[in-house]
Amino acid sequence: MHSLSLKIIFKSIKICHCFILIFFFVFMFSSYILIAQKNKSVLQTVPIWKRIDLELKSSKVYNNEFLDVAVDATFIHESGLRIDIPGFWNGDNIWVVRFSPNKMGKWTYKISSNDETNSGLMKSGELLAVANEGSTELDRRGFIRISDNLRMFTYNDGHPFFWLGDTHWQAPDFERIEECNFPSCNGQCGNSQFKHLVNNRISKGFNVYQMYPDAAESDGGGNLRRYNWWDNRQKLLDTPDSIRINPVAFRKNFDIMMEYLANHGLTIALGLGVHQSTANAMDERSLMHWARYLVARYAAFPIVWITAQEVNASPKIEPYEKWKKVANLIDELDGFNRPLSMHTDRDYPGKHPSFLEIKDLRWHKFWAMQGGHLKDNSAENQGQEYYMKYWNAKPRKPYIETEANYEQLYWPHPISADKVRETAWRAIQSGSYGYTYGASGIWAMNWEANDGRGWENWSKLSWYEALDLPGSFQMKHLKDFYLSLDFHQLIPRFNDSAYGRDIDYNKHFLSSYDNKLYIIYSVKGEPLTGYLKNLRAYSRYTAQWYNPRTGSYHKAAKTLIYPDSQGLHSLPTKPDSNDWVYVLKFNEKLF
């Protein structure tokens, strides 16, 4: 009996131990799950190619928040990739580090300042970059970069990017985000002139918004400022050690524009000011503080840097030297390594600094070139020799025609859509894998015509009168044409005797992809004559005409072409005296 009782007791103890062990393991497992969930919730997520603002609250008060303290951050991806970027003062006692991951996975970061006693400006943590579910090409393919062959731009995934830009100089100063005076505006723009402009340009295929803020508030053609960048711009030149930025102008204006552009798939070609107008009105130290602030605030966006408009416009060297130092600083501070250039003035004999002096700058990665407008050497700057100089230059760099013949610009007579269209086609057929368009009333903002504001000597239309000029539609035809033909395979042939004979190459602009695809743009009023060469003898090619004014294809008199034994093809007569594009395709699948 006693033995039986002991057995029962021992059995009960074993059962109790089992329950205790089970409870212990359940408790430990539950605790692990809770801790894991807690850690997971702490790890902040951000979609790749989107922006995240890491906010810091200063534990100290400074006399001048803009100058007295500098915040810097380091982000390291799990692969080892490192991105360094400065932070910026955002008003009151708030600083921000703005980051955009370019790789999925875990990022660790560390933020510090040059004031080691300010614990509020120190922060470390982790971010998890996740898939981007946005619908734009920038969301799906990533921000643009320079192609591996150094000839053009591609998205980050390597897919070719056809640059179609629109000019909005000083948009952050004068384009209005809270009112719209378009006569028949239906409210779809949210009563925002800026959004009305952007939406119109997107509908026409534009994917680059080319702009700069008027840094010194010294330009603008008499336009009324919406915000001031500085609390006192008079200090910019004489007392640069006491200048102070106005963060409200950025939060309520510039940031809103940048977000809208980025979220709608546009790349921003961003300058920091304009030629000597900015450089002469700012001490070099003021300009460098401005550059650091804009890099900190906007490098995380889909941008390419153009430094400033017409950095070498002045006959004096000092403004250019200032802008060169600004570009050096951009290169030093921008850990994302966005493409960097300088928008240049027309390049002509005697120009200083010239093409030869700029091409070897270490940080200069592409040419934001200017062919000019009607007079002032523009004819020479839009001919084949001009572009050939850039194509053959070493080191090799992409070049984009970023300012030439704005539509309805009075220079001294209004520039027609015919001239605008011709300029764009000439540039692209000459190796500029993209183009920036400009329209009177928009490149220099005119709220209303004849109101005495907005550079009306040259830009006489209101923005809404300029919104749908013929050239803006024809830019879409141009882009659609090249995208349909794998434009990135085309090579400008200039005066290459291997591909053409007896062709006036400054009136008829030839490009080709080997001997499989030939494109020739023939200007208005000039008969097309000569021969295409290096075609496949006796092979079958298909010939068509493309109308660059309407975006439509037309049958050639002979639609099937069989080159002779020497691979020659005599160019046909154009349908009429207008400009036309002749397209000759090898009849098998091209690629």
The beta strand positions in 91-135, using DSSP E, are 94-99, 105-113, 123-130
Please report, rounded to a whole number, the percentage of residues in the chain having pLDDT higher than 90: 84
Tokens of 474: 């024809």
34-48, 264-278, 319-333: lowest mean pLDDT where? Answer: 34-48
pLDDT at 565: 96
Band of residue 508 on the pLDDT scale cut at 50, 70, 90: very high
Mean pLDDT in residue range 490-504: 97
Question: What per-residue confidence (pLDDT) applies to 379?
Answer: 59
Distance from CA of residue 580 to its chain's centroid? 30
DSSP 556-575: EEEEEE---TT--EEPPPPS
pLDDT tens-digit series, residues 347-370: 877 788 889 999 999 999 999 999
pLDDT at 353: 86
Q: What is the pLDDT of residue 354?
A: 87
Residues 405-457 have pLDDT tens digits of 999 999 889 999 999 999 999 999 999 999 999 999 999 999 999 998 888 88
Rounded CA separation 60/121 (Å): 9
- Residue in 191, 228, 230, 166 with CA at minimum distance from that of residue 445: 166
172 and 158 Cβ atoms separated by less than 8 Å: no
pLDDT digits (tens, 9 = 90+) for 105-142: 999 999 999 999 999 999 999 999 999 999 999 999 99
DSSP state of 134: -
- Under CATH, to which class is 45-130 assigned? mainly beta
Q: Which of 264, 127, 134 is nearest to 201 (CA)?
A: 264
- What average pLDDT does the chain have? 92
Nearest-angstrom CA–CA distance, 507 and 498: 18
Contact 243, 235 (CB under 8 A): yes
What integer pLDDT is reported at residue 351 of this predicted model?
Answer: 81
Q: Which CATH class is domain 491-586?
A: mainly beta
Specify the range with the lowest mean pLDDT, choosing from 211-225, 269-283, 341-355: 341-355
Average pLDDT over residues 384-413: 95
Which residues lie across from 372 on neighbouring strands?
404
Compute the average pLDDT of residues 178-206.
Answer: 94
**Single pTM value for the model:** 0.92
The whole-number pLDDT of residue 194 equals 98
Q: What CATH code would you report for 160-469? A: 3.20.20.80
What is residue 35's predicted lDDT score, i.e. its pLDDT? 37
Higher pLDDT, 9 or 256: 256
